[in-house]
Amino acid sequence: MPLILVHREEPIAVVQLNRPEALNALSPALMQELVAALESLDGDPKIRAIVLTGSEKSFAAGADIKEMASLTAAEIKKENPLAVWDRVAAVKKPLIAAVSGFALGGGCELSMMCDIIIASETAKFGQLEINLGIIPGAGGTQRLTHAIGKSKAMEWILSGNIYSAEEALKAGLVSKVTPAAEYLNEAKKLALKIAEKSPIALAAAKKAILASLDSPLTEGLQRERELFYQLFDTEDQKEGMQAFMEKRKPCFKGS
């Protein structure tokens, strides 16, 4: 059985984690398949936005504890699992997480590697690593702190508690909570709306926003300015502004 299912609904695609018997625990094999699917869609001009989802019961219950349990520090360092995980964060197209059920440990981190999180009211988020005698290892200490601030991130990571979708919304981790039956549709609707925009402008916006997590304000502003100027050499910018003046919908070609 494939560990990842890809549903193409051009101009968007839905990538589904498919390891239900283990609540979508993120084994190395699953992560390899996930990255291969995401990178293939990232390079496909017919796809303009991607939704990442799991099952109703579980987005992902974390990295695979059974596969990590007996590793030594030297072994896990040599295996370098982060090299694969980092490639999720390197996807250039808009990536929306549609989360239902568990998003725990590495599952929560995976959702945070996406650009936007849409959550079902059933979603449960948490960084549970502390309960296993470890800390988050796929960006949780950094991305969660950026998302919800230091005091809350400390509470989440040091307590190993599980938080509801409403709490995650209030904390600023997720952008929307939907009724249980609606989370995937809502994420797809948003992906379709985003897919109408210029892919070049989308990539530039994503790059500029992510730079804000990584650099001081002056550097981020400089990067934003450079990206802004570059867009004036694209046909999409001419089309977008021409369409406005002609009072019609723009048709962006990605050039």
Which residues have a catalytic role annotated? 63, 106, 109, 129
- CB-nearer residue toward ligand DAK: 129 or 186: 129
97 or 104, CB closer to ligand DAK? 104
Considering the rule CB under 6 A, would residue 165 count as an interface residue with ligand DAK? no
| Closest to 17 in 3D by CA, of 9, 8, 31, 128 | 31
Sign of CA dihedral 204, 41, 90, 15: positive
Q: Specify whether the CB–CB gap between 53 and 16 falls below 8 A.
A: yes
- Tokens representing 214 are 């990584």
What x/- string results for residues 77 through 116 when contact with ligand DAK is judged by CB under 6 A?
----xx--x----------------x-xxx----------
How many Å apart are CA 85 and CA 34, to the nearest integer?
9
Q: Give burial (CB, 10 Å; 0-12/13-18/19+) of 132.
A: middle
The residue nearest ligand DAK at its CB is: 105
Determine which residue in the list 5, 6, 18, 22 makes contact with ligand DAK, applying CB under 6 A.
22
- Tokens 């977008």 — which residue? 240
Residue span binding ligand DAK (CB under 6 A) among the ranges 58-66, 147-155, 197-205, 227-235: 58-66
Question: What is the DSSP code (8-state) at residue 49?
Answer: E
Per CB under 6 A, does 66 bind ligand DAK? Answer: yes
119 is a site residue for ligand DAK (CB under 6 A): no
Single-letter amino acid code for the residue at 12? I
State the nearest-atom distance from the C-beta of 208 to ligand DAK, in Å: 26
Helix axes 217-230, 199-211, angle to 10 degrees: 170
User: Residue 76 is which amino acid?
Assistant: I
Closer residue to ligand DAK (CB): 137 or 220: 137
What is the closest distance, in whole angstroms, from the C-beta atom of residue 61 to ligand DAK in the complex?
3
Rg (CA), the chain: 19
Identify the residue among 54, 62, 94, 250 touching ligand DAK (CB under 6 A): 62
* Interface positions with ligand DAK (CB under 6 A): 22-23, 25, 61-66, 81-82, 85, 102, 104-106, 128-129, 132, 137-138
